[in-house]
């Protein structure tokens, strides 16, 4: 009887371990996909700039076009936030396509995101943060429900 109980316990532990590793693998793939999407969105948003101002030596982003591009790439399943820094001296924050904050800044600027990560902004930049909520783990007690990834694209030369 003791051998039967030990055997059943080992089988249960193995099933729990396999389930957790499978769920964790799915979570990691989702996290990497969000990172790739944030990279693409940040790079796409910086492409929408005012050509006339660029000819005068300033990089001014077209907010409406950048928001439409990012919103079209992400869709409705994820929440997103975009920070725009350009030569206008205004830091604009968009959440799911709506302007939520606009503040003045000057280069170099120290920016701290929602997670507490701090970075120096010394040239025009776009920061995109994407969040996705879902049930990633089937086991009770693993409470990770949100994946959030962020990416910054800076303009290196003009």
Q: Report the pLDDT averaged over residues 74-80.
A: 85
Contact between 129 and 150 under an 8 Å Cβ cutoff? The reply is yes
Can you spell out the DSSP letters for 80-119? EEEEEE-TTSEEEEEETTEEEEEEE--SSEEEE-TTS-EE
pLDDT in tens, 56-76: 888 888 888 999 999 888 878
CA-CA distance, 29 to 142, in Å (whole number)? 17
pLDDT exceeds 90 at position 155: no
Q: Looking at the predicted structure, is the pLDDT value of residue 158 above 60?
A: no
Task: Report pLDDT for 9.
Answer: 94
Question: Residue 18: which residues within 8 A CB-CB, separation 6 or more?
Answer: none
Look at residue 3 and tell me whether its pLDDT is greater than 60.
yes
Read off the pTM.
0.83
Under the banding of pLDDT at 50, 70 and 90, the label for residue 87 is confident
What is the per-residue pLDDT across 4-25, written as a single tens digit (0 to 9) for each? Answer: 999 999 999 999 999 989 988 9
Domain chopping of the chain, boundaries: 2-154
In this prediction, residue 157 has a pLDDT band, given cuts at 50, 70 and 90, of low
Alpha-carbon separation of residue 104 from 43, 67, 120 (angstroms) = 23, 20, 15
Q: Which two tokens stand for residue 85?
A: 């820094």
Mean pLDDT across the chain? 88
pLDDT given for residue 156 in this prediction: 78
């Amino acid at each position: 009887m003791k051998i039967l109980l030990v055997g059943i316990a080992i089988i249960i532990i193995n099933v729990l371990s396999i389930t957790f590793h499978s769920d964790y693998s799915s979570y990691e793939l989702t996290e990497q996909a969000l990172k790739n999407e944030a990279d693409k969105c940040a790079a796409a948003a910086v492409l929408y700039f005012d050509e006339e101002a660029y000819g005068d030596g300033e990089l001014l982003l077209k907010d409406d076009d950048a928001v439409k591009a990012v919103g079209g790439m992400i869709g409705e399943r994820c929440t997103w936030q975009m920070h725009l820094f350009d030569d206008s001296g205004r830091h604009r924050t968009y959440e799911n396509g709506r302007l939520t904050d606009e503040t003045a800044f000057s280069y170099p600027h120290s920016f701290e995101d929602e997670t507490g990560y701090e970075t120096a902004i010394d040239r025009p930049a776009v920061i995109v943060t994407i969040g996705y909520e879902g049930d990633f783990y089937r086991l009770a007690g693993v409470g990770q429900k949100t994946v959030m990834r962020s990416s910054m694209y800076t303009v290196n030369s003009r």
